Amino acid sequence: MDTLEAIAARRSIRQFKDTPIPDDVLRTILKAATQAPSSKNRQPWRFIVVTGDKRREMVRVMRDGMARAKARGEGLGSAESTARIMEQAPVTIFVFNPHGNHPYLAHSIGEMFDDLVNVQSIGAAIQNLLLAAQALGIGSLWIGDVFHAYDELCAWLGEQCEMIAAVSLGTADEQPDARPRRPVSRVARWL
């Protein structure tokens, strides 16, 4: 599959089959993530792979965090349905920025700029990961809803640095149509 085909064919997948992802396929996908460009070649990404029985624990921790967030009056949006998808997907990969601080802590301007380039680099790595998965016939979902259980998941994963996202992976059990996009004419202008 060439790059443009993979970009066009990729969809967020929210229904997965119970088929495990072979270890070598997972490692190929992670290698593609590490081949992303990064600011000063800092490679500011760390991946934690959750599979097997650990998935149930992961979702329990996420739901605990969501319950606490709800008790604080925060809206949970799509988090409950995302937790169900994470429960079903055979693999979920958490992505951390080892140079980043907890988002609730004060950041200096220098730290903010470092964070901006590091998070862009990690975004490139995640997109590489999704496209590599696509090329290998594996469906994916990029997940921000883990933020509803930020502290709980970081504690469970043993990480104090900045959590950026999670990505669930597995064989797709649905074939969604392409979601709408604004045309280039509306989002780009030429001078």
**Residues at the contact surface with ligand FMN, assessed by CB under 6 A:** 11-12, 14, 78, 82, 141-145, 165, 179
In angstroms, give the least distance from the CB of 33 to ligand FMN: 15
Q: CA separation (Å) from 95 to 4, 40, 123, 167? A: 25, 19, 10, 8
In angstroms, give the least distance from the CB of 191 to ligand FMN: 28
Beta carbon nearer to ligand FMN, 82 or 118: 82
In angstroms, give the least distance from the CB of 80 to ligand FMN: 10
Beta carbon nearer to ligand FMN, 78 or 160: 78
Beta carbon nearer to ligand FMN, 12 or 88: 12
In angstroms, give the least distance from the CB of 143 to ligand FMN: 4
Question: Contact, 130 vs 140, CB < 8 A?
Answer: yes
Beta carbon nearer to ligand FMN, 27 or 167: 167
Beta carbon nearer to ligand FMN, 30 or 165: 165
Question: Contact, 130 vs 167, CB < 8 A?
Answer: yes
**Bridge partners, residue 167, by sequence:** 93, 142
In angstroms, give the least distance from the CB of 152 to ligand FMN: 16
